[in-house]
Structure 1
Amino acid sequence: MKLFAAYVKRTRHSTWASADRVREIMSRPRHSAAIPHELYQVNHVTGHEVTTDDGTFTVHSLVPATDAPRDTPLDICVYLHGGGYVNGLDDRHWKFVSDIAGAGMKVIVPDYGLAPEHTASSARTLLDRVIGDAADEARDSGHRLCLAGDSAGGGLALGWMLTTGRHDARDPVERIALVSPWLDVSCTTEGLDALVDDDPWLHPDGLRVAGLAWAGADTARGVDIHDPLVSPLAAPDTDLAALPPTAVWTGTRDILHADALALGARMHRTGATVDVHTCDGAVHVHPLTPTPEGKAAREEVIRWLSS
């Protein structure tokens, strides 16, 4: 992990190191990476479009390629990708969702709109449809529905659970897996500043710009940066207590480790079921990294989702 952290610091730290750098990223066209060819060799991959008032979005579905018919009902995982709300799906995400599918699950991956053109409210509308449809499918087939996400996707997953008006979609979600979730777009969680020097990847100066754009407070459908949709740690204890069993994976060389610890402490206090898995010395989203620690954590996440 030390070698990987050094590599990350050389190649990725500049992305989030300054507000100006993130503004530059948001000023140019950005698209999700194409699904890698090798995923088609082990999965049946399909996609369809969902249109809302905010635009048309692609929703991908992966099921493991086995001898069973591809429409055989399976447990379902809706996966929300990270990227600071300003970057789309990349090869790490595709590899991770393929591994989840390989455990015998159907994985649904909405390619939600990015900031600043789209906001959290736009994503919530899309997820109301996507997760609502997944809930109907799971209910009709007698299978389980899980929700998972990494980084910003983890924050979006929890924010949707806490604020959606679609209780018929939310209530069937049986468990949530969060990988290095970003749970406060203002980056003011207690203990976060003390982690800045050890984090080779993220910096609050860059994240705050992305978070402000994602909240879209100055837009017609925007929300305040302390709204639980974008900052789930701002939710009242009563709402956190109502969440289904939740597991969190976090590393100590990640400024968002503070968010993970804060969520775990608050959910424990409310009596909710939560497990926080901490990897000492690990960087942001370590279960998605090509390291021994990442492989072990990735297997934990998948085992927990599919058990």
Structure 2
Amino acid sequence: MPSLRSRALSVALVAAGRRRRFATAEAVRARVAETARRPASHLPPRSLGRVADVSRTFVGAWPVYDASPRGIEPAAQVLYVHGGGYINELVRPHWSMIRTLVTQARARVVVPAYILAPRGTADRTVPVAADLLSGLIASGGAGGTVLVGDAAGAGLALAAAQRLRDRTGDQPSRIVLISPWLDLTMSHPDQAAIEAADPLQARSGLLEAGRLYAGTLATDDPRVSPLHGSFAALAPMTVFTGTRDVLTTDSRELLRRARADGVEVEFHEEPGLPHGYPLLPVPEGRAARDRIVELIRSAAEE
């Protein structure tokens, strides 16, 4: 049973019309057109600079932020890949999570503001993300590197890990996926029933966002939809999902396929919780964040 605060937040999200952002293909196209006219900011909040040393570099055209705990040596490294359906920039809940990883896990957190769809497509985006992950592992050692992604960013993170495995065999110490979007075909037969209870997302809008990100690739290409790729020899995974998330089918399929390929999966499915709940100010979200912090601290000790 979800907490009272979680239930109240779900009602508030519906009332605020948040689901409309991905309600239809037309809504997604309108969002993309608006972003093209007036690009959203991906800058970190100034409050992060009070607790972390924050810098920015560029990897090609990507701004990449680097946040480290102020005054102490980082205990671990994290590559954090943000969500937003591949069409939205970093927003405050992402930066709040990043702040938690810096201050509580004492991690150096590297955060790419990757190019959004339709300019940024999977064939261009996945190789750059894999290069970032490879560089982070090389600079700090695989034992202290954790790959974290939420929603669309979790899909990009997993695709990058698969590409790096195929290229060099390297992996981070752990992959943490928060409400992952892993199959952009949106074809699972259980999704129709789940969608009716999802306060945030709808399949038609997600299909359009996925089409834009796929570019010239098929939506079932593993670079676009890493659920269709191989899980063999990937790092151990931790997955968080909620039953009021139309994308929870992706997490369930990942659990089945990854374990079949011999990958360790720690799986958290919260009844009644919506998409992205570990980023939300609810008790279940706090518990998920605490577990992520534990995992990063454990990686530092390996």
Question: TM-score, normalising length from structure 2?
Answer: 0.91
| 2:111 aligned counterpart, secondary structure | strand
1:166 is displaced (CA, Å) by 6.9
Structure 1 stretches lacking a partner, 5+ long: 218-222
- 2:224 paired residue among 215, 226, 230: 230
Is 2:246 the counterpart of 1:245?
no
| 2:34 aligned counterpart, secondary structure | coil
Is 2:279 the counterpart of 1:288?
yes
Distance 1:138 1:118, change over 3 A: same
1:164 is displaced (CA, Å) by 4.2
Report the Cα distance in structure 2 between the residues aligned to 1:32 and 1:137, rounded to whole angstroms: 29
Q: Is the 8 A contact 1:124 1:164 kept in 2?
A: no
Q: Deviations over 1:1-59 (max 9, x none)?
A: 111111111221111111100010111223343211111111111111111xxxx1110
| 1:224 aligned counterpart, secondary structure | coil
Distance 1:111 1:24, change over 3 A: same
Q: Deviations over 1:99-156 (max 9, x none)?
A: 11121111100110000111112212321332222122113xx851111100000011
Q: What is the number of residues matched between the two proteins?
A: 288
Corresponding residue number in structure 1 for 2:247: 256
Q: Deviations over 1:281-305 (max 9, x none)?
A: 1110100001111111111122123
Is 2:24 the counterpart of 1:25?
no
- 2:48 paired residue among 27, 39, 57: 39
Q: Provide the identity percentage.
A: 33
Poorly superposed stretches of 4+, deviation over 4 Å: none
| 2:137 aligned counterpart, secondary structure | helix
Corresponding residue number in structure 1 for 2:58: 49
| 1:44 aligned counterpart, secondary structure | strand
Report the Cα distance in structure 1 between the residues aligned to 2:42 and 2:106, rounded to whole angstroms: 24
Is 2:16 the counterpart of 1:16?
no
| 1:290 aligned counterpart, secondary structure | coil
The one-letter amino acid of 2:138's match is D
1:267 is displaced (CA, Å) by 1.4
- Across the aligned residues of Structure 1 and Structure 2, the Cα RMSD in angstroms comes to 1.6
Report the Cα distance in structure 1 between the residues aligned to 2:164 and 2:214, rounded to whole angstroms: 15
| 2:195 aligned counterpart, secondary structure | helix
Structure 2 stretches lacking a partner, 5+ long: 1-5
Report the Cα distance in structure 1 between the residues aligned to 2:247 and 2:124, rounded to whole angstroms: 24
| 1:126 aligned counterpart, secondary structure | helix
Report the Cα distance in structure 1 between the residues aligned to 2:165 and 2:171, rounded to whole angstroms: 14
Corresponding residue number in structure 2 for 1:80: 81
1:269 is displaced (CA, Å) by 2.2
Q: Is the 8 A contact 2:183 2:226 kept in 1?
A: yes
Q: Is the 8 A contact 1:26 1:86 kept in 2?
A: yes
Report the Cα distance in structure 1 between the residues aligned to 2:130 and 2:204, rounded to whole angstroms: 31
Report the Cα distance in structure 2 between the residues aligned to 1:73 and 1:100, rounded to whole angstroms: 11
Q: Is the 8 A contact 2:134 2:164 kept in 1?
A: no
Distance 1:183 1:172, change over 3 A: closer
Corresponding residue number in structure 2 for 1:197: 196
Report the Cα distance in structure 1 between the residues aligned to 2:139 and 2:74, rounded to whole angstroms: 8
Question: TM-score, normalising length from structure 1?
Answer: 0.89
1:306 is displaced (CA, Å) by 2.4
Distance 1:73 1:64, change over 3 A: closer
Report the Cα distance in structure 2 between the residues aligned to 1:143 and 1:183, rounded to whole angstroms: 25
Q: Is the 8 A contact 2:164 2:171 kept in 1?
A: no
